[in-house]
Amino acid sequence: MTEDLPLAATTAKGRTRAAMTTQLLAAERAGRVRSTIGRAADFFGPGVTESALGARVFGNAVIGKRAEVLGDPTLLHTYSYVPDMAAGLVPLGTDDRAVGQVWHLPGPATVTTRALLDLVAGQLDHPVAVRNLPTIVLRALGLVSPMMRGLAEMSYQFEQSFVLDT
C-alpha cells in the first residue's frame, strides 16, 4: 500500500476512515484547518496490549503459552512499532512540507508474523507456538463482543499479504 492509492474501502470501518480522510483533506484545501495525516499499520510496542500483537500474542509468548494470531502467520504483514510511529509524527507536525498530505509512518521491515514470532522466541530462549484464530471464530465471538466483531470485519488484512510502503 502506498500513500497515493485511491480510497476504495469495502468495510464499514474502512469507509469511515476514508470519509474522515476526504473531509479532513477537503477542509485543509478550503483553508479551514491545517492538517497532515500520518498512517501506520497494526502497531505494537511498550504498553500496547490491545492490538494484533498485544497480550494474546506477545503476552502469551512471554509466559510460554501459544500466541493467538489472526489469519495466516506465513503471509507478509507490516507491523508498526509505536516509538517509530511517534518519531515519524514529529516531522509531520513541524514541517510545512508535510501539510495537506497523507504519509505512511516509518516502521520495521515487513516480515511474516511467524518470522516476527521467531525473533521474539530468540529473545525469550524458548519456542513460540502459534494458534490461528480463524475468521469464523471471530465472527461467532462477534455476536457477543463488539471488539471481536471489529476484528472479524478487518480479518481480510490477515488472510492475504498486507504490506505498507513505509
pLDDT in tens, the chain (166 residues): 888 888 888 888 889 999 999 999 999 999 999 999 999 999 999 999 989 999 999 999 999 999 999 999 999 999 999 999 999 999 999 999 999 999 999 889 999 999 999 999 999 999 999 999 888 888 898 899 888 888 888 888 899 999 999 8
pLDDT of residue 148: 82
User: The C-alpha cell of 166 is what?
Assistant: 513505509
pLDDT of residue 3: 85
- In-domain check, residue 3: no
Placement of cell 510502503 in the chain: 165
pLDDT of residue 134: 84
- In-domain check, residue 115: yes
pLDDT of residue 60: 96
User: Rounded to the nearest 10 degrees, how much is the dihedral formed by the CA atoms of 116, 119, 124, 125?
Assistant: 130
* Number of domains the chain is built from: 1
- In-domain check, residue 1: no
CATH number at residue 21: 3.40.50.720
- In-domain check, residue 47: yes
- In-domain check, residue 87: yes
Q: How far is CA 97 from the centre of its chain?
A: 26
- In-domain check, residue 2: no
Amino acid at 20: M
- In-domain check, residue 6: no
User: The C-alpha cell of 21 is what?
Assistant: 480522510
- In-domain check, residue 4: no
The helix or strand, by DSSP H or E, that contains position 37, with its residue range, turns out to be strand 37-39
The pTM for the full model equals 0.88
Rounded to an integer, what distance in angstroms lies between the CA atom of residue 110 and that of residue 87? 18
Give the orientation angle of helix 135-142 with respect to helix 146-153, to 10 degrees: 150
Structural domain harbouring 102? 12-158
Rounded (5°) CA angle 147-8-23: 80
